[in-house]
Amino acid sequence: MHHRLKEIKLIVIDIDGTLVDHQGMVGEKTLTLAKELKKKGILCTLSSARSFHYSSHIADELEIDIPFVTLNGALIKARNSKAVYKGSIKKTLITKAIALAEDNYGKITMCDENNLFVTPRNTIVKEYTKLNAPVKEVADFTGMNEILEILIYCEDKASMKHIKQGFGFFDKLAVSLSVTKSPNHDYYLLTIKKKQSNKLESVKKLVRHLGLQRKNVAVVGDWHNDMPLFDFGAYNIAVQNAIPELKRKADYVTNSTNNEDAVGEVLELVKTHALGRS
């Protein structure tokens, strides 16, 4: 399968659990090779659940000038340009989400391109979220515009079930609803985004925007939200610490974990096969 690496021109990299270690640091080998490959026309970009604000700092380190995917696909944007795609949620759905959260003991927050918004009655969500976006406290959510993601936290499963069911047909027509449980089981999280705002659809858009084909793309990931991306048909790379399901879909599994600069190993592999030298 390594022969496919000869045509790689774009490497799409997940951040948490893949690119950065447990301290949130990018490996030195990755930093060096990303810049070297860029000079040869092989570009790196990001695809993450993190906010644009957080991802921009990583893009700065790697000198990424092209657009990158944030909020699991709700926004495709470069550091210094207009968005290629922005999956803004309709105001009617924002209002519905607020009402459902309030009626079912849920705590709600939402984010746009730049900020994570909280109200005085929902400030506790700051302890939960890992978006690493600037937190902006507002009196209420009235008049919120360009919202890309809504997060609702519940302590019990029944409340979360009622909230999810409350969206009814919107679940199929307008929004994507995803429920996860915290690792320590303290809460359930409902993530609400515009339909088609996911890693797979956004990377498809990005690849078209850059004028590339699937054969020119490698994707690197570790977690459940990377699963759809591995259905794109690119060259799939799972890091050693990835979940078993992702490893089974991978064309290559690194020997290194994210704490051992697995992406550096990936870039070395691409350099060797695409540029013909080590």
Residue type for position 264:
G
CATH number of 2-85+197-274: 3.40.50.1000
Residue type for position 56:
S
Whether the predicted pLDDT of 278 surpasses 50: no
CA distance 26 to 208: 28
Residue type for position 133:
A
The pTM is what? 0.92
The Cα diameter of the chain in Å comes to 61
Residues of the chain with CATH 3.40.50.1000: 2-85+197-274
Length of the chain: 278
H/E run at residue 271: helix 262-274
Q: Are residues 67 and 76 in contact, defined by beta-carbon separation less than 8 angstroms?
A: yes
- Can you read off the two tokens belonging to residue 192? 């609400």
Strands (E), the chain: 10-13, 43-46, 68-70, 75-77, 85-86, 107-111, 116-118, 135-137, 149-154, 175-181, 188-194, 217-221, 235-238, 252-253
* Average pLDDT taken over every residue of the chain: 92
Residue type for position 126:
K
Query: CATH second-level architecture of 91-194?
Result: 2-Layer Sandwich (3.30)
Burial of 122 (0-12, 13-18, 19+ CB in 10 A): buried
Residues of the chain with CATH 3.30.1240.10: 91-194
Using the structure block, give the residue that is written with the tokens 């990158």: 68
- Can you read off the two tokens belonging to residue 98? 């607020």
- Can you read off the two tokens belonging to residue 100? 């459902």
CA distance 98 to 100: 6
Residue 126 DSSP symbol: G
For residue 146, which of 194, 108, 107 has the smallest C-alpha distance? 194
Residue type for position 258:
N
CA distance 130 to 53: 12
User: For 100-111, what is the mean pLDDT?
Assistant: 94
- Can you read off the two tokens belonging to residue 85? 């795609």
Condensed to tens digits (0 to 9), the pLDDT of residues 160-214 reads: 999 999 988 776 778 889 898 887 668 899 999 998 899 999 999 999 999 999 9
User: For 203-230, what is the mean pLDDT?
Assistant: 95
Condensed to tens digits (0 to 9), the pLDDT of residues 122-149 reads: 888 887 787 889 999 999 998 888 999 9
Whether the predicted pLDDT of 1 surpasses 70: no
**Other CB atoms closer than 10 Å to residue 101's CB: what's the count?**
24
